[in-house]
Structure 1
Amino acid sequence: MAVARQLARHVAPVVDMVYPPRCPLCGTAIAGQAGLCLDCWSTLEVPTQPEAQGMGVLVYAATYYTETSRKLVMAYKHGGRIALARLLARLMAARLPEAAHGRPPPVLVPVPLHRWRLWSRGFNQAALLARELARLGKGEAEVAGLVRHRRTPNLGGLGREAREQVLAGAIRLNPRRMAQLAGRDVILVDDVLTSGATSRACIAALKEAGPASIAMACFARVEEGHHLAHQSSP
């Protein structure tokens, strides 16, 4: 790992010379590859503290889901700009508490994609974030902890009860990973938290492993009263 970091430091100036760093939102020249310009940074809205969001676990969100964070998510998830995972994870990591002294690090479990969605998109955006968070020292990534064994339609436009019905039984604990989660602090990882229906299904499945605790980390969280809160998940 130390060798990789040293190599990255030597390569970075060359990369910057060939591909001058620019803000991924507005294109303004910036100092480093993984960042935003000052104007775009200033438009991010950061929650003051974690909240339970009606799911019974603490949710650590890097930002609220506003126009700026929406553009970042869309570029990352649908625009194929997977290099943004490092930026998003860095913002998420800043919101997560340090691991409890004397306890093993948390297990980072991403919200799973169905195999057909994974095939069509080419990557699981939550899994990439979990791996980046692990690289930043926020836990151990377990990308196969949960399995979405049944394909589900887009939940946009559905009410809470309808969402719960669609997701019923769709997400399950991977029995081959149960031992890795038992008695551990687990953090569920996703890019955006909207209604919470998918997250609740994941949390219910994770509880079957008997973890010591469950929390959630996401990049953006939809909050009532914000101007994009009424829109469906990206």
Structure 2
Amino acid sequence: MLRPLVDFALPPRCPICGVTVDADHRFCLSCWRQLDFLAKPWCVACGLPLPFDHSDNSLCGICLTDRPIHDGVRAVVRYDDRSSLIAMRLKYGSRLGLARLIAEHMQKFASECSDNAVIVPVPLHRSRLWHRGFNQSVLIGRELARCTGIEMDYSAIIRSQITPPLRGMTSKQRWKTVNRAFAWGPGAQTNIAGKSVLLVDDVYTSGSTSNACARMLKKAGAVKVLVFCWARVIRDFESI
């Protein structure tokens, strides 16, 4: 009975531009059209969108020489000025409801997962968790678990070392920085062995963090690690 009053006082708004929309967690038509949603065809190893149809086993140029440890990235959109606002407002603006929006878009990829899949969020170091008050990847993973019914294990891996921001580092520097930053959590080998893992993060940039996490998960016995994220950075030379 109170819903019409709430909608009148606090109408749903587009999470990007703020104009009134017809329901929560919906974009206005203008912002929707400007988001670059990612879909097949993509590289079988890293999930990078390919410019034209290929066979199901096609690799991008980068993966032909340096295949990632994880088994692909499933990103909802390309990272740009608009899509980045969703990640930034969740992470730094405490717009926690955006975790549900992201998860609702991610769930379309869940059909690729086996029946014994488990969701694992990319962990934060406890010092950053204390400062921020929450881990955005855990919030997204929790909503994805609710949408799909897939179990989530938020403690399978932990961030055992605090690392500096990776922005501005080369790929080699990024890998060296995060390579030893993660460790198994309690019962990781028991809970992960023989399962497919959905590694959840907000943004995929270079893959250094995802590869470091995937390395630990596969050492714990994961048979497959797919990275699920809201946005993926795609450089111009990668999309050629």
Quickly name the TM-score band, shorter chain normalised: 0.7 to 0.9
Q: Alignment partner for residue 60 of structure 1, among 63, 69, 74?
A: 74
Find the aligned partners of 2:9 and 2:21 in 1 and give their Cα distance: 14
**Partner SS for 1:67:** coil
Within the candidate set 194, 207, 210, 2:205 is matched to 194
Question: Match of 2:23, SS?
Answer: coil
Report what 1:19 is aligned to: 10
Residue-by-residue CA offset, 1:111-154 (whole Å, 9 max, x unaligned): 10000111111110111111110000152111111100110000
> Contact conserved, 1:110 with 1:143, CA < 8 A, in 2?
yes
Tell me by how many angstroms 1:14 deviates: 5.1
Q: How far apart are residue 81 of structure 1 and its match? A: 0.5
Q: Within the alignment, does 1:184 sit opposite 2:195 as a pair?
A: yes
**1:68 offset after TM fit, Å?**
1.2
The gaps in structure 1 that reach 5 residues or longer are: 1-9, 230-234
Q: Give me the whole-angstrom Cα distance separating, in 1, the residues matched to 2:3 and 2:184.
A: 40
* TM, length-normalised to structure 1: 0.85
Q: How does 1:1-234 map to 2 (within 5 A)?
A: 13=4, 15-49=6-40, 50-51=42-43, 52-53=45-46, 54-56=67-69, 57-100=71-114, 103-104=115-116, 106-137=117-148, 139-225=150-236
Post-superposition shift, 1:177? 2.8
In structure 1, how many angstroms separate the alpha carbons of the residues matched to 2:230 and 2:207? 14
Amino acid at match of 1:128: L
Shift of residue 212, structure 1, vs aligned partner = 2.6
Q: CA deviation at 1:11?
A: 6.7
Question: Is the alpha carbon distance of 1:210 and 1:35 closer, same or farther for their aligned partners in structure 2, counting shifts above 3 Å?
Answer: same
Contact 1:99–1:138 (8 Å) recurs in 2:
no
List, as ranges, runs of 4+ consecutive aligned residues in structure 1 with deviation greater than 3 Å. Answer: 10-15
Offset at residue 36 of structure 1 (A): 1.0
Q: Deviations over 1:24-83 (max 9, x none)?
A: 211111011111111111111112225433424121111110111111111111111111
Question: C-alpha separation between the residues in 1 aligned to 2:193 and 2:92?
Answer: 34
How many residues end up aligned between the 2 structures? 215
TM-score, normalised by the number of residues in structure 2: 0.83
Partner SS state of residue 227, structure 2? strand
Q: CA deviation at 1:12?
A: 5.0
Structure 2 unaligned spans of 5+ = 47-66
1:175, distance to aligned residue in structure 2 (A)? 3.8
Among all aligned residue pairs of Structure 1 and Structure 2, give the percentage whose two residues are the same amino acid.
Answer: 40
